[in-house]
Structure formats: structure tokens, C-alpha cells
Homo-oligomer: A and B are copies of this chain.
Amino acid sequence: MIQVYTGDGKGKTTAALGLALRAAGAGHNVFIAQFMKGRSCAELTSLKKIKSIKIEQFGNTCFIKKFPTLKDKALAKKGLKIVKDNLAKEKYSVVILDEICVALNLGLVNLREVTAIIDCAPEEAEVVLTGRGAPKEIIERADLVSEIKEIKHYFKKGVQARRGIEY
């Protein structure tokens, strides 16, 4: 099954992380590829305790300001290759491409590369894509799409991103 968590609200990455936690509890092996992220996120510390979840980051330590660098693109391409290999080897029953939609919209990877992964995924695998702005080609191919809409966000009141809550 292909699952997509998109939209402008908080909860996309955490929904995928929660799914990983649940899947691991049922005995599944889970692979999480975090695109666009290269700095220490608090979830990495917790995930070390769950052996059946493997997480790898394929992003720079700093945010992409306006235009991605060659390094940003190379990291994202590497991430996609590893995801593809892992799906082909059928080692993981749940494979999460965190923030892949943002990587797509910034041109770090292209739509053809991502849809090829979806189209070639083993039928028994659960492939989860997150990030705002999921393109319609991905929504069409997905079996489940949740749009997480921001109804209210404390960022608008000036609250800063907090470690353990936002990252």
C-alpha cells in the first residue's frame, strides 16, 4: 500500500514515526529515509532503542535557503537509491520517505524517480510518503492520502520550534 501524509499542518512526520512504532511492535522491519534533514532530531535518540526501525538522514545540517546546492541534490539522490535498493531486497515491510514531497517541490529529486519507486514497490510493502504539496501524480497512485490541514498553529503566536516537539 502507498500512504501519503501531506498538507500544511503539523503531524505529517510524526504520523509516519507513529506508524513506524506501531509496525515495529507488530514485528515489521521499518526503514525511514529522512530527506532534507541532516541535523539531530530528537526522534533519532528514541529510535535507537527499537532495533527493527532503521533511520537514515539524507539532508544537509543547514536548511535550504532559496536554491538547493549540488550537495543537497546528491544527498537526496543517494536517499532515493537506498530506498529503491531496500525495497528491491524486500528487507523492510514498511519504508518511509519523510519530506520527500518537499524534496520533490524543491527539485532535489524528480517526479519520475519517485513514481518509479512507488510503481516498483513490492505489493506487500507499505510505502509512506510525507511532506507538504504532494503532487497529483503521487496522490493518484496512492492507496491512502491524509491531508493534514493547519486550523491553528502556535507558530503564528510567535512560538519558536522546540526540540522534542517540532524536531
Contacts and interface: CB of A to CB of B under 8 A. Distances in A.
Contact of A17 (B3, B18, B26, B27): B18
B11 A25 contact: no
Interface residues of A, number: 55
A146 B150 contact: yes
Interface string A1-39: 101010101111111111111111111100000000000
Nearest to A3: B10
A15 B5 CA distance: 11
Nearest to A41: B22
A154 B41 CA distance: 31
A150 B142 CA distance: 12
